[in-house]
Amino acid sequence: MITYQHLSTFIPLKQQLKFRREGNIGIVNNAFDFKLMYLNETALTVFDLIDGKKTIADIFEILLNEYDVQKEILELDLVDIIRDFQWGKIIRLKKT
Query: Residue 23 domain-assigned?
Result: no
Query: Residue 59 domain-assigned?
Result: yes
Model confidence pLDDT, tens digit, residues 29-76: 988 888 899 999 999 999 999 999 999 999 999 999 999 999 999 999
Percent of the chain past pLDDT 90, that is, above it, reads 84
Query: Residue 51 domain-assigned?
Result: yes
CB 93 within 8 A of CB 14: no
Q: How many domains does the chain have?
A: 1
Query: Residue 35 domain-assigned?
Result: no
Query: Residue 96 domain-assigned?
Result: no
* Bridge partner residues of 27 (DSSP): 20, 38
Residue 48 belongs to domain spanning: 4-15+41-91
CB 10 within 8 A of CB 96: yes
For the full predicted model, state whether its pTM sits above 0.85: yes
Q: What is the pLDDT of residue 2?
A: 81
Residues in the chain: 96
CB 29 within 8 A of CB 23: no
Query: Residue 69 domain-assigned?
Result: yes
Mean pLDDT, all residues of the chain? 94
